[in-house]
Amino acid sequence: MACLRFTLIFALGAGALAAAGTRVLFDPSDPGTGPFPSNTLTVADPAQRSGRRVNMPFPDCQQLANLAACGEVLAVNQLDGFNPQQRVRVRFSGPVDPETLRAGLAIIWLDPLFPGSYALGQPGKVTVVNEVVYDPTTNTAYAKPDEPLDQLYRYAVAVTSAIRDRAGDPVEPSPEFAACLSGGATGPCAEVAPSLAAIRRAAPGPLVAASVYTTLSVTAFMESARRAVTSTPVNFRRTGARNVFTAAEVQGVTWRQQVRARGENRFNDFVLPLPPGLLAQSGIGRVAFGSFQSPNFLNAQGFIPQTPTGAEVAVPSAATEVFFHVWLPAAPPPPGGYPVVIAGHGLGDSRFGMPSILALTFCNQGFAVAAITAVGHGFGPESSVVITDRAGPVEIPAPGRGAPVADGSIGPIDGTIVVAPGAPVFGRDAVRQTALDLVQLTRVIRSGADLDGSGRPLLDGGNISYLGQSFGAFYGTVFLAVEPAVRSGILNVGGDSLVSTAITSPAFRELGGQYLAARGLLNKGADFDPNLPLRYEAVKVNDVRGAVEIQNTLDLLQWVEAPGQAGAFAPRLATATLPGVPVKRVLFQYAIGDRSVPNPQNSGLVRAANMRTMTSVFRFDRFRGRLPALGDNPHTYLTSVLEDQASFAIGLGTQAQALLFLASTENAVPDVNSTLRLILGRDAFETPEFLTEDTNFQ
């Protein structure tokens, strides 16, 4: 009897020890438990390309403190799937060894929803994770895919027993997932069951938890909206009492910026710094002003309402008159017209800034330079430009595209960053609308618009390229991905995500901080610390209060951003082009230590495009302190040509590299170091063997 009692006690003790093992929690209907993402958090919707619509749970929206969070959920719940770069979330019943998380988490490629289209990967492919965070207060792991995932593709989050607990033992499946492994196909197993065999075959170890999810159709709106734009008339017209001016006769240019919506002091007169004779000496012959009609997809709040992705986008009832100008070379045009470079300016700039500086070099080499002002830029709609030449001053309408803020003022980017209730889109829709305006500008050029009233086209509609700087590289990536008529482009100091840039960048950190403050998420007094790892850093064990909440909010905002995110469109430049769009020749340019669009974001864009070999990096770290015009931030190295001699040499060399690339048909980074070496004493540019992962701030 005593022996039987001992046997029972031993058996019960062994069972208790077995039950004490650390388990992977499994409740895919709860994003806080996961594994997340999961199609359990979607509903069927035949109006969407994916056949699904996101259905994330709301917080208590009756509480005032949750209103912004409810707006984020409302925004993602209109999407037809998860972000291709969605952050994975896995929770455990107890502590685990953080160093084992990379080995035990993977993303399995299951199948594309449109098998006939170009895909970034094949079924059965395994993507490892990176940027891993472990939160010991909730025993939750977070991780990002280590490469671009495709749109409209089914994936699985695979969790394996390679993850160990603190005692070194493998983590175990929960009873709920053990039921799935045993053949369960209902309840929480319903989404996983049909794909379980494929997941187990591809998983890099014994499976202890999994979820299945579908990525959203990133490009659906832009593809359909472009078709809508091309069905409309361009309605080109020459603007102003005189619309063409001869460069040699221009004595001054004043930009009348409307900086207030009403009242006195509505205008600020900004005189463009043009030394006498500079335009003519630079090979510029004339400048011509015009406008065209572009369908306006933005609503009164400044964002584009979400529509079902399975239907064609309707042509909007409203159109915007978009004003543009073209700098024309002094040399006579070739028989087919001048080759054209469309110049996309940066955040806070306008068509009168960066494009004008480019024209000083590009016109001398026979290129015309055309430019519009991006959405939310150029100050108010009553802005104008006054050109004074030998015949006297002429005022030309140059309406800005900014929107007044609460006090009636109109700043250089007011109307670009939009955070309306239920639409925390930041700059996403300024990016999309501006890209569509560039589609219409391309049509103007290709239509043979008579810029000067001579009765003949001056521009070669078959030879159009694009150069975008900073924000111009963000919307330029989207533009190049959807517009087939522009075959070559240069993306200078661009990044993969506006949201991640706003968090990482010292120059724009205030924008991110303002939103987090409104969300009540500042965790460092009046500042914030998201405590995020850089790529390839060790697993970040979170020890910062409130950091995980910030991280999860940023993940939601990047999810909302995805349909207009440069990094999400970058794979469509060459690796997996959209239907009817040819492979693009693209040169990427960025600078070590950029404090406006930091290097991790620069590299993220290049990596998403899979174009490391087509990248030119300016080694600012070799010249730090020697370039007064740039100070400690090399962000504007392309256009800093009107300052000190060394900065002039760098800017001119960068533009020369761009010109050589556009004049060529080869996929190669032009080498301009041999000339600069004579001036600067060492090489300034290189194609990196490995993309830069650190911020390189000093």
The pLDDT tens digits of the residues spanning 15-74 come to 333 445 999 999 999 999 999 999 999 999 999 999 999 999 999 999 988 999 999 999
Instruction: Please state, in angstroms and rounded to a whole number, the distance separating the CA atoms of residues 289 and 295.
Output: 20
| Model confidence, pTM | 0.95
Question: Using alpha carbons only, how large is the chain's radius of gyration in Å?
Answer: 28
Neighbour-count burial of 575, counting CB atoms closer than 10 A to its CB (0-12 exposed, 13-18 middle, 19+ buried): middle
* Strands in 18-65 per DSSP E: 23-24, 42-44, 52-54
> What DSSP letter does each residue of 82-146 carry, written as one string?
B-TTPPEEEEBSS-B-GGGHHHHEEEEEEEESSTTS--SS-TT-EEEEEEEEEETTTTEEEEEES
Whether 189 contacts 248, CB under 8 Å: no
Question: What is the DSSP secondary structure assignment for residue 524, as one 8-state letter?
Answer: B
pLDDT at res. 625: 87
Task: Determine the straight-line distance between the first and last CA of the chain, rounded to whole angstroms.
Answer: 76
239 in Cβ contact with 397 (< 8 Å): yes
Mean pLDDT, the chain, whole residue set: 94
> In this prediction, what percent of the chain has a pLDDT beyond 70?
97
What does the pLDDT read at residue 275?
77
Residue 5: what pLDDT?
A: 41
pLDDT at 18 (0 to 100): 41
Residue 274 has what pLDDT? Answer: 78
Q: Please give the full DSSP string across 314-351, using - where no structure is assigned.
A: PPPS-EEEEEEEEEEESSPPPTT-EEEEEEE--TT--T
Q: Which two tokens stand for residue 280?
A: 């003519």
Q: Point out the residues of the chain with pLDDT beneath 50.
A: 1-19
| Cα–Cα separations (whole angstroms), residue 439 to 140, 226, 567, 617 | 45, 7, 20, 29
The pLDDT value recorded for residue 644 is 83
Task: State the pLDDT at residue 641.
Answer: 82
Q: What is the pLDDT of residues 585-643, one digit of tens each?
A: 999 999 999 999 999 999 999 999 999 999 999 999 999 988 898 999 999 999 998 77
Nearest Cα neighbor of 100 from 41, 159, 155, 178 is: 159
Query: CA-CA distance, 649 to 680, in Å (whole number)?
Result: 8
Backbone angles phi, psi at 248, to 5 degrees: -65, -20
Report the alpha-carbon distance of residue 119 to residue 652 in Å, rounded. Answer: 39
- Closest to 231 (Cα-Cα) out of 319, 328, 134: 319
